[in-house]
Chains A and B, each alone.
Chain A
Amino acid sequence: MNNNKVIQVEGLTKMFGDFTAVNAITFEVEKGEIFGFLGANGAGKTTAMKMLIGISKPTSGKANVAGFDVYSNAEDIKKNIGYMSQKFALYDDLTVRENITFFGGIYGLSRKRIKEKSNALIEELGLENVANKLVGALPLGWKQKLSFSVSLIHDPKIVFLDEPTGGVDPITRRQFWELIYKAANKGTTVFVTTHYMDEAEYCDRVSIMVNGKIEALDTPKKLKEQFKAENMNDVFLKLARG
């Protein structure tokens, strides 16, 4: 296996009864790449991602994530990836520090390492003054940044972001993307699923899923040229309307 390809997917399919949620998708993601996984609600994004993170068994096809096979080594995959979702991220009734300690503990970090990581992380995000405050009291944007950093606490090879930045203000959103660029620059692969097309503009490469199939896969720039569109939103509109 090529070491630079951290995600390799070939003909991956998931059926629910007669319904084909994910229809033979094929793609590769390289180390340190920011990969956008786009599609409308119900296009099959979430189902595909669940197979990649090892919580759903594919019906057929091949997939290798972080060097492990999704059929036989699902548990190893879980140890080597980070996950952040808009819906569930952190415990609102724990403090910033308690959240970090808890998630560090889940991934089996030593006490010393958790302490180091917590301090570094709190400093990096400028959360010194609120380190012992409940996460529930923080503004949404801070929570998202914290939650992203926590998903990186065990230095995973790949981090999966499920609709990460909906609803935050534009400045905070950019700070969030700077964190993503930083992680990618260090060699972490970032896999972003979203249905916000402007978010796609930030990715190195994007795939667009329509009805269970990947209908387009390239850099945002090339996709815009290919579809003669001004932005990714137009690309999507043209693709979805046929």
Chain B
Amino acid sequence: MGISVNHISKSYKNVKALQDISFEVKKGELFGLIGPDGAGKTTLFRILTTLLFADEGNATVAGYDVVVEYKSIRNSVGYMPGKFSLYQDLTIEENLEFFATIFGTTIEENYDLIKDIYVQIEPFKDRRAGKLSGGMKQKLALCCALIHKPKVLFLDEPTTGVDPVSRKEFWEMLKRLQEKGITILVSTPYMDEAALCDRIALIQDGKILEIDTPEAIVEHFPKQIYNVSANNMYQLILSLNDYEHNHSVYPFGEFVHYTDSRTDFNPEELKTFLETKDLSNIHIDKTVATIEDTFMELAK
């Protein structure tokens, strides 16, 4: 019994936050909701954690209906809202103790589950949450969300505003939690984190673009992508946009990711074209698609 979402729609005044969203998360799965700010991720989380009503559709979490059986859901899910919602003026230990007591449990009772994470912040347990770094806040917030042994864990953008080291550690922790049988729904705006999930849903403007495993999503990319580089980035982008056969042109770090609209594309031909545009040091190499390429292709 994981999560089941059926044709959920939700609007605020004239903004359609979610449009006919459906997906299933299996028990024990690590499912990622990948999309930029404003895609509707937080709204969906709030509906699933019983904080909001959907306009249409229904959903179940851990087998309970989000509207009728909201009390059962509130007892069996852990929720970590977007900003790490901690009491800034309480210490690490006091925060954790508080969340343990309101869920009718104690730190000792469920220490096993949080131990891996808690030992990392335990040396600072008398420090106030407001004085912690982003990474430590994130770990504390996760401990607080786990303290009552939830069956399903909702993490809304847990890695936003956190440095790369903490991000990496955080994903490692999620993997370990998953092994303990907890179903995890996590949202993130970072495409590079998608690969760490079992399955992902790409979401933009309240619509789901695709649902699949990260590998399958990348494999299904319809075109061959080329890394193109030259001596002047800006000229290169302008020139590629001018090229009549281009399908997509996206700067991608030190390269431009280029796809051609033809099936019989010859890189040499493009190179010649670029040379006529006064570009030099031109390299055109095949490369593999990333989640981000897929996202842009689907959102186009």
Contact = CB atoms under 8 A, between A and B. Distances in A.
Interface residues of A, dominant DSSP = helix
A240 B299 contact: no
Contacts of A139: 38
Contacts of A185: 232-235
A42 B133 contact: yes
Interface in A52-87: none
A184 B165 contact: no
A41 B232 CA distance: 32
Contact of A174 (B163, B189, B251): B251
B247 to A, nearest CB: 14
Contacts of A181: 233-234, 237, 251
Given A237-B164, A241-B165, A220 B253 contact: yes
Contact of B36 (A40, A42, A168, A178): A168
Nearest to B37: A167
A201 B254 contact: yes
A181 B250 CA distance: 13
Contacts of B37: 140, 167-168
Contact of B295 (A40, A170, A198): A170
B36 A170 contact: yes
B168 interface: yes
Nearest to B205: A169
Interface string A175-192: 001100110110000000
A212 to B, nearest CB: 15
A236 interface: yes
B300 A171 contact: yes
Interface string B261-300: 0000000000000000000000000000000100110011
B91 interface: no
Contacts of A103: none
A198 B300 contact: no
Q: How large is the interface on A (under 10, 10 to 19, 20 to 34, 35 or more residues)?
A: 35 or more
A202 interface: yes
A113 B17 CA distance: 40
B163 A169 contact: no
Interface string A189-226: 00000011110011000000000000000011100000
B116 interface: no
B164 A41 contact: no
A233 interface: yes
A170 B165 contact: no
B253 A201 contact: yes
Interface in B202-236: 204, 232-235
A240 B164 contact: yes
Given A41-B163, A178-B251, A237 B168 contact: yes
A195 B166 CA distance: 12
Contacts of A232: 253
A197 B164 contact: yes
A231 B134 CA distance: 23
A48 B292 CA distance: 32
A178 to B, nearest CB: 6
Contacts of A220: 253-254
B192 interface: yes
Interface of A: 40-42, 139-141, 166-172, 174, 177-178, 181-182, 184-185, 195-198, 201-202, 219-221, 231-233, 236-237, 240-241
12 contacts: A40-B165, A167-B160, A167-B189, A168-B36, A169-B204, A177-B251, A181-B233, A184-B234, A185-B235, A201-B254, A220-B254, A236-B165
Given A166-B189, A169-B39, A197-B164, 16 more contacts: A41-B133, A41-B163, A42-B133, A140-B36, A168-B36, A174-B250, A174-B296, A195-B164, A196-B190, A198-B253, A219-B254, A236-B164, A236-B165, A237-B164, A240-B163, A240-B164
